[in-house]
C-alpha cells in the first residue's frame, strides 16, 4: 500500500468554512424568514447559488472519508493505468452514505479492483486486497471493504458488471487461499 499524498494546496480550509457558513446560514435564514419575519423566502432564492456548491461538498463527504474528501488534506488514489475490464454508466449506486441514480454513477472494473466516479462529487478506487465481502443479490452487488479513502459499502446495480466483479473476487480469494497453504 502506498503512502497517501498530501494535497498541494490549502483550499480545503476555505471549503470547510464555506460549507459550514452557507449550509448553516441557509437554515438559519430560512427559519428566520418563516418564523420571525413571516415573509416569503426571497432571501433563500438569493442564497441558492451559494448553497448548491455547499450541498455538493456535503455529498462529497458522504462518499469519501473526511481526510480524503474535499475538506481533507489528502488526495485519493487514482485508478490504475491498465485498461479497464468493464465500465458501466449505472442507473443507480451507493458509496457509503451517498445514494444516487443515473447519470451520476460510473463504475469501472479493473483486474486489481473497482473504480467509481460520481458526477460532481469525485472519483475513487478500491483495490481487491481491501475487499472484505462481496455479496450478490437481486438488488445488485454489495462490497464491504476496509479502504481508508472510500466509505463502505459500495452498492452496484444488478447486471453484467456485478457478476464479473463477483467472479474476479472469487478468483482473488482462491489465489489468496492457495498462497497461504
Residue 139, pLDDT > 50, answer yes
| pLDDT band per the 50, 70, 90 thresholds, residue 16 | very high
Output the pLDDT for position 176.
65
Output the pLDDT for position 30.
84
pLDDT digits (tens, 9 = 90+) for 52-87: 999 999 999 999 999 999 999 999 988 899 999 999
Output the pLDDT for position 32.
84
Stated as kind and residue range, the H or E segment containing 23 is helix 11-31
Tell the residue number behind the cell numbers 488514489, with chain if given.
Answer: 77
CB-count exposure of residue 67 (10 Å: 0-12, 13-18, 19+): middle
Distance between first and last Cα of the chain: 23
pLDDT digits (tens, 9 = 90+) for 17-60: 999 999 898 888 888 888 887 776 788 888 899 999 999 999 99
Cβ contact 113:101 at 8 Å: no
Assigned CATH for 86-180 = 2.30.29.30
Q: Considering only CA atoms, which of 89, 67, 74, 64 is closest in space to residue 152? A: 64
Residue 139 half-sphere exposure, CB side, CA atoms within 13 Å?
7
All three cell numbers of 104: 451520476
Q: Is pLDDT larger for residue 155 or for residue 102? A: 155
Every domain of the chain and the residues it spans = 11-68, 86-180
Amino acid at each position: 500500500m502506498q503512502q497517501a499524498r498530501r494535497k498541494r494546496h490549502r483550499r480545503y480550509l476555505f471549503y470547510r468554512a464555506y460549507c459550514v457558513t452557507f449550509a448553516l446560514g441557509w437554515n438559519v435564514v430560512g427559519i428566520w424568514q418563516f418564523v420571525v419575519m413571516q415573509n416569503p423566502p426571497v432571501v433563500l432564492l438569493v442564497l441558492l447559488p451559494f448553497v448548491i456548491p455547499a450541498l455538493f461538498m456535503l455529498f462529497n463527504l458522504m462518499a469519501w472519508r473526511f481526510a480524503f474528501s474535499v475538506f481533507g488534506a489528502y488526495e485519493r488514489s487514482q485508478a490504475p493505468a491498465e485498461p479497464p475490464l468493464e465500465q458501466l454508466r449505472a442507473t443507480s449506486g451507493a458509496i457509503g452514505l451517498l445514494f444516487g441514480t443515473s447519470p451520476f454513477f460510473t463504475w469501472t472494473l479493473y483486474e486489481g479492483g473497482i473504480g467509481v466516479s460520481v458526477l460532481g462529487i469525485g472519483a475513487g478506487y478500491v483495490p481487491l486486497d481491501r475487499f472484505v465481502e462481496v455479496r450478490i443479490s437481486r438488488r445488485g452487488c454489495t462490497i464491504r471493504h476496509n479502504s481508508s479513502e472510500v466509505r463502505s459499502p459500495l452498492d452496484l446495480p444488478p447486471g453484467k458488471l456485478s457478476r464479473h466483479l463477483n467472479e474476479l473476487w472469487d478468483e482473488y480469494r482462491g489465489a489468496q487461499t492457495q498462497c497461504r497453504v
